A and B are shown apart, each in its own frame.
Chain A
Amino acid sequence: MTVNEKEFRPFLLDQVSYLTLTTKKFENRKKWQPSKPKEICSIIPGSVIEVLVTSGQKVKSGEVLLTLDSMKMHTKIEMPYDGVIKDVCLAKGDRIPKNFIMITIK
């Protein structure tokens, strides 16, 4: 394999800069994002069977917010802590992808 030396890039490690190439996998790695406790995201895609809460509603920890049909299973999404619903971002019948913000909490 021939390598074009111009493609070498500085690569910082322990305050030392090395000249090197990177890999596709390294370039495409996922940047970390802190978790957002006020957003309830889907962890797998699915379709919405029912939505049980509306905007502005007071909900106790553990109460069911909605039911998702994912991977041949009906999964109940529960309220993580006592709070008030800000937005409901989906409706019955919607198909949602992974990491979709389903419900936000005030």
Chain B
Amino acid sequence: MSFKRNILELRKRKKEAQQGGGEKAIEKQVAMGKKTARERVKAILDENSFHEYDLFVEHTGRDFDMDKKILHGDGVIIGTGTMYGQPVAIYAQDFTVFGGSLGLMHARKITKIMDHALKMRVPLIGINDSGGARIQEGVNSLAGYGEIFYRNTNASGVIPQISVILGPCAGGAVYSPALTDFVFVVENISKMFITGPGVIKSVLGEEISMEELGGAMVHSEISGNAHFFAKSEDECFEQIKKLITFIPWNNAQKALRFPAAEPLASANIEEIVPNDPHLPYDIRDVIRAVTDNSDFFEIMEYFARNIVIGFGRIDGNTVGFVANQPMYLAGVLDCDSSDKAARFIRYCDAFNIPIVTLEDMPGYLPGVDQEHAGVIRHGAKLLYAYSEATVPRVTVIIRKAYGGGYIAMNSRHLGADFVFAWPTAEIAVMGPEGAANIIFKKEIDESENPEETRKQKIQEYKDKFANPFVAASKGYIDEVIEPLETRARLIHSLEVSASKVDTRPLRKHGIPPF
């Protein structure tokens, strides 16, 4: 009976703390088109599965009259819950409480749940909505950021780390998402930058809006900082829920197996690819022609569109796809596409996800801007990532595989387990036109009819090298297959590779060119 009073007291305290910044602040949050931190957590997790910790934590600021302020939960919600019945750890910054600013205790709560996630080997989801460092707490808030970054790095490649940007995320704060695996952004809500429009204007005199500087589409299309773009918070949560079905809960597990399913009948692989190597098509249609239910979950859809990455399932198992996209920039490799693919390959390798590479690529993008932007070191990332990966690796060469790009796109020489080629494949040092002009330069120049000779020589080179059979004769390609056989070969080769054991020399870590 005496319990009752205590319980009522607890309930009262809980209710008060759960109000966050109070009604007015919540109204403001809603007016900005945003959900509250608590609503967000509930929307992502299974119904009624959320358990909150550290609700009664108080901030420790004493200067600038901060001691008179009550900040419920110190502006962040932490806890655990489940997704599809599996445990996850989550934190959500609460913008209604002092702008979600990060002080010492705020950071302590985040690092507590991070430590927990790493120890328990469960995914960590972080929802960012914060004005940044709590300036009143001085170096303590910087310390907090540093301790978060340190844990992000330690957890990298061990547990999945997902960052959801649902508000401003500025200054040092952006580096936590940047250290995590996947960054989700929402149009008109997400804002990420190191220095904001105000500073840029005062220092550089350049005027730019927040959305143009660091809005959701900017990071999805231009900077490549974001992996998933959504038009609303609800769409964003659906994306998170879909992503999580493709990945394992930690690096010691494999992704959950789903019931196998055939691709949809409408996805006819032979009708997708034009025989003429100069004509474009959407490589994602080829991916959908080989995946279960023709389902393909694309990552970084808007950045470096000349390469496509994402997850699909083959025979029920998750596969990471890396594919040149002839529809954009003819599918060339360049700084951005190499960077995009390399990081994804390392993700798949860290989390035991087999990689299927689809190749149709005319070479590297020429240009002073590319060379000066470091296409050498960015391109090297791709070589490094493939060579380093010990997960099952299968390549299908669809049409063009020219020059350095042929090597880079998971060739046999970088350790691919299986390499298949369609009969339309052209594996050569360069395209027939360029090659003929070099090899037969003298003959063409001295000929009475140079154009006619050039045509002849191009055809000669085409007949000789623009096919998969030269490479097949060396064993660089395991099998030349009919397009319709692609899915069956992928299923079989991944089945054969299911228990693959491959090792690399023991070392502290490599020095990848990043």
Contacts and interface: CB of A to CB of B under 8 A. Distances in A.
Contacts of B282: 3
Contacts of B362: 13-14, 16, 18
A23 B305 contact: yes
A11 interface: yes
A45 interface: yes
Nearest to A70: B203
B25 to A, nearest CB: 34
Interface string B417-430: 00000000000001
Given A20-B280, A25-B222, A11 B430 contact: no
B280 A32 contact: no
A29 B434 contact: no
Interface in B294-344: 304-306, 326-332, 336
B222 to A, nearest CB: 6
Contacts of B329: 11, 20-23, 26
A15 interface: yes
B430 A17 contact: no
B363 interface: yes
Interface stretch (B231-239, B345-353, B367-375): B367-375
A45 to B, nearest CB: 5
A60 B368 CA distance: 33
Nearest to B204: A45
B278 interface: yes
A5 to B, nearest CB: 9
Contact of A45 (B203, B328, B331): B203
B368 A32 contact: yes
A76 interface: no
B372 A24 contact: no
Given A14-B430, A15-B434, A29-B367, A97 B328 contact: no
Nearest to A30: B369
A17 B203 CA distance: 45
Contacts of A18: 278, 280, 326, 330, 362
Contacts of A24: 221-222
B505 interface: no
A22 to B, nearest CB: 6
A16 B328 contact: no
A36 interface: no
Contacts of B363: 13-14
B248 interface: no
A38 B141 CA distance: 48
B177 interface: no
B510 interface: no
A95 interface: yes
Contact of B434 (A14, A25, A26, A45): A14
A71 interface: yes
A6 interface: no
A70 B205 CA distance: 12
Contact of B433 (A11, A14, A70): A14
A84 B221 CA distance: 47
A8 interface: yes
Contacts of B304: 23
Nearest to A47: B205
A100 B437 CA distance: 44
A29 B369 CA distance: 7
B330 A13 contact: yes
Contacts of A22: 328-329
A18 B365 CA distance: 13
Given A14-B430, A29-B367, A29-B369, A97 B326 contact: no
A19 interface: yes
Interface in B197-231: 203-206, 221-222
Given A24-B221, A31-B369, 20 more contacts: A11-B330, A13-B332, A13-B363, A16-B431, A16-B433, A17-B278, A18-B330, A18-B362, A19-B279, A20-B326, A20-B330, A21-B329, A23-B221, A23-B305, A23-B329, A25-B222, A32-B372, A70-B203, A97-B206, A98-B204
11 contacts: A13-B362, A15-B431, A19-B279, A20-B328, A20-B330, A21-B280, A21-B328, A23-B221, A23-B329, A24-B221, A25-B222
Interface of A: 3, 8, 11, 13-26, 29-32, 44-45, 70-71, 95, 97-98
Those 3 A-B pairs whose CB atoms lie nearest each other, nearest first:
A32-B368, A18-B330, A14-B434
